[in-house]
Amino acid sequence: MSGFNNMLHFVGVVEDSDDMTNSGRVRVRAFGIHPAKKGATGEDDVPTDHLPWATVLDGTYGLAPIIPAVGEFVFGFFIDGRDAQQPIIMGRLPGMNFSFPAESGEPGEDGYIPPESIHKYGAPEMHRYNTGEGADIGQATLQSSYKRNNIKQADNTTFDEPPIAMPENNRDTRVIQSKNGDNFVVIGDGMNSDGFGTMLISHSSGSVFQIDPNGTIFVKSFSDSYTSTEGVQSTFVKGSQHTNIQEDYTLKIEKGSGKITIAGDLDIECRNFNVKASNQINLNAGAKINMSAGGIGMQATSDDINLVSMNNIKCKTGTFANGGGFYIKATMGDFHVDSYKTNMLSNTYTKIASNGIPAYSVPPPAGPLATTAQTVPYKDLGFKGIEIHSPVLVSVTSDTGIVNVHSGIATNISSLLKTQVVSTGAVDVRAGLTLNMSALGVTSVDGLLVNLGMLTADTSVITTASIQSLRNVQAAPVALPITLECITENATVVKPPTLPALQAVMNPVTTRVRDFITSTMGTGDSQND
């Protein structure tokens, strides 16, 4: 125990801190006790690996133990006295590396300072955030030069990064640093005269975490940044939140649902906007949904497209320059329009054509899952062609042009009450084979001049008859020759006017028929002459 009573104090320099026992011990060359290294063959030489391991006292009680670095001057004692084999380090001597010990640096001598710590020679022991010296070294210059200003936000406003605290002469600042001082924590005292009050965690790469005197927190990484939590992460922002991303942005929710609630407007601007849902997409607006694009396409791959409006559905297409049209194609389905009134207007022409393929759609089968590809207002099995039906009126009008009704086989015009063909000019009814006109009641043919058969050479029938203003003039019945059996009424008619053009083409048969009618019925001079 004599060593404790006669402890030998010393000042030395740390030459080795690589303790393989992980006990935090260091090897110290004690000045005046251990000779300087004079070379490999020096008789007084004590190599570093021959120096005893020194235990370092930890005054932090394990809170922040610090092992002295190689090259640092330390103060301690040998608990075994002058045997000098059990050193203990009590602390280090800052600033002692400003001068070399005696005989250091002489030719052939290594001196006390280890080569690996020579870079610290002349440097102050106190950190630059205490002394303010060396502001141009380390990451402070990098942090200052990469300060970004006028960062544009989505609302076209800008903001600047807050400045990072620079080294300054402040002895009240507490600095916890790494051995080389490049990684450090600065704890400023906001109660001192200059009101520094900044907390700073700075990395040698330039990455920094800072709380300024106003309480503003600034985090900047000069490399990647990751945030991960195994629980719930909640963020509350009383003011606004702005994010500027220079490259890509992705968001993935692996489980559960997502919800965004915004009291105001939501504006999204991008190059291409793609939305994909495995089930349904629902868009619901309290007032109106407006869409505008160079082109709009909609496709339903397995169901219908339904458009429902409480007012009108309006479609407008094309301009005079591009002549765009309105096209609907139902390859094997129906085109069905139900309306109170239907108006179609064309500036040039309107065509309605049908290929005449018989219809085959039938009502859908019964059952909750029954479906059909077609919906028609009536059973249309077997229907083909074009059908226009109205219980009141069907009108085909051409004010200044021509109306053509043509059929390859037959044309039927039928009416339960009356069929009327009116023309301000002429009406031509022609038949290539037979022309039949029949009525259950009365058939009337009226005109200024009525011609039945023209230039017919057969003498067994009436070839020309002129009857003007048939007004139910009655006369005594007369017998008609067999050639006039087609006349079923006997009437006295007004003598027609002389028609020179007609007389010029009458053949002898026509002249005889005229004379016969005149001699039989009389001239009728007493009737409306």
Q: Output the pLDDT for position 423.
A: 75
Q: What is the pLDDT of residue 459?
A: 39
Statement: residue 520 has pLDDT above 70: no
Tokens 């045997």 -> residue: 83
Instruction: Report the DSSP beta bridge partners of residue 158.
Output: 152
Check whether residue 92 and residue 161 sit in a common domain.
no
Is residue 361 within 8 Å of residue 374, measured between CB atoms? yes
Residue 318 domain-assigned (yes or no): no
**In the block, residue with structure tokens 């949904």:** 289
Q: Taking 80 as the threshold, does the pLDDT of residue 479 lie above it?
A: no
Same domain, 96 and 141: no
Question: Most confidently modeled of 30-44, 183-197, 295-309, 352-366?
Answer: 295-309
Residue 321 counted as domain residue: no
Position 413 scores a pLDDT of 80
* Helices and strands: H and E segment counts in the chain: 5, 12
In a domain? residue 476 = yes
Q: What is the average per-residue pLDDT within 408-437?
A: 77
Angle of CA points 294, 296, 300, to nearest 5°:
165
- Per-residue confidence (pLDDT) for residue 504, from 0 to 100: 44
- In terms of Cβ atoms closer than 10 Å to its own Cβ (0-12, 13-18, 19+), residue 206 is buried
- In sequence order, what E strands does 249-302 have? none
Residues 450, 507, single domain; the answer is yes
Query: Is the per-residue pLDDT at 220 higher than 90?
Result: yes
Q: Is the pLDDT of residue 104 over 80?
A: no
Q: What is the mean pLDDT of residues 376-400?
A: 73
Percent of the chain with pLDDT over 70: 72
Give the other-Cβ count within 10 Å of 421's Cβ: 7
Q: Given 220, 250, 277, which residue is the final one in a domain?
A: 220
For position 347, what pLDDT does the model report? 84
Q: pLDDT tens across 245-279, in order?
A: 999 999 999 988 999 999 999 999 999 999 999 89
Same domain, 19 and 116: yes
Interatomic CA distance for residues 23 and 53, integer angstroms = 10
Residue 281: pLDDT over 50: yes
**pLDDT tens across 322-331, in order?**
888 888 888 7
Q: 29: domain CATH number?
A: 2.40.50.260
Residue 192 has pLDDT above 80, yes or no: no
CA nearest neighbour of 130 among 176, 97, 72: 176
Q: Are residues 110 and 150 in the same domain?
A: no
pLDDT at 311 over 60: yes
In a shared domain, residues 199 and 147: yes
pLDDT at 309: 87
- Asked if pLDDT for residue 1 goes beyond 50, the answer is no
Question: Per-residue pLDDT for 392 more than 90?
Answer: no
The length of the chain, given as a count of residues: 529
Domain contains 173: yes
Domain match, 199 and 168 both: yes
- Say whether both 104 and 186 belong to one domain: no
Residue 223: predicted pLDDT: 93
Give the CATH number for residue 157.
3.10.450.190
What pLDDT is stored for residue 45 in this prediction? 73
DSSP per residue, 340-391: S------SS--------PPP---PPPSSTT---S---SS--TT--S-----S
pLDDT at 460 over 90: no
The confidence band for 484, taking pLDDT boundaries of 50, 70 and 90, is very low
> What pLDDT is attached to residue 197?
79
Q: What's the predicted TM-score (pTM) here?
A: 0.57
In this prediction, residue 467 carries a pLDDT of 37
| 491: in domain | yes
Q: Are strands 87-92 and 151-152 parallel, antiparallel or unpaired?
A: unpaired
Asked if 51 contacts 17 with a C-beta cutoff of 8 angstroms, the reply is no
Query: Into how many domains does the chain fold?
Result: 3
* Per-residue pLDDT at 501 exceeds 50: no
Same domain, 482 and 512: yes
Same domain, 36 and 141: no
Last residue of a domain, one of 70, 100, 124: 124
493 pLDDT higher than 60: no
Q: Is residue 351 part of a domain?
A: no
The residue written with tokens 């301009």 in the block is 319
Last residue of a domain, one of 70, 101, 124: 124
The pair of structure tokens assigned to 405 is 């009704």
Question: Does residue 266 form part of some domain?
Answer: no
Say what the pLDDT of residue 478 is: 41
Mean pLDDT in the chain? 76
Q: Is residue 437 part of a domain?
A: no
- Of the candidate ranges 20-29, 46-55, 129-138, the one whose mean pLDDT is the lowest: 129-138
**120 and 204 part of one domain:** no
Identify the H or E element spanning 281: none
In this predicted structure, what is the pLDDT of residue 371?
54
**pLDDT category, 158, cuts 50, 70, 90?**
very high
167 close to 175: Cβ distance less than 8 angstroms: no
Cα-based torsion angle of the residue sequence 81, 87, 92, 98 in order, rounded to the nearest 10 degrees? 80
Residue 488, domain extent = 445-529
Give the pLDDT score at 190: 64
Give the distance, in angstroms, between the CA of residue 322 and the centroid of all CA atoms in the same chain.
28
Binning pLDDT at 50, 70 and 90, where does residue 439 land? confident
Q: Answer yes or no: do 187 and 213 share one domain.
A: yes
Dist. CA 470–CA 462, nearest whole Å: 18
Q: Is the pLDDT of residue 295 over 70?
A: yes
Give the residue-averaged pLDDT of 108-114. 56
CB atoms within 10 A of CB 197: 18
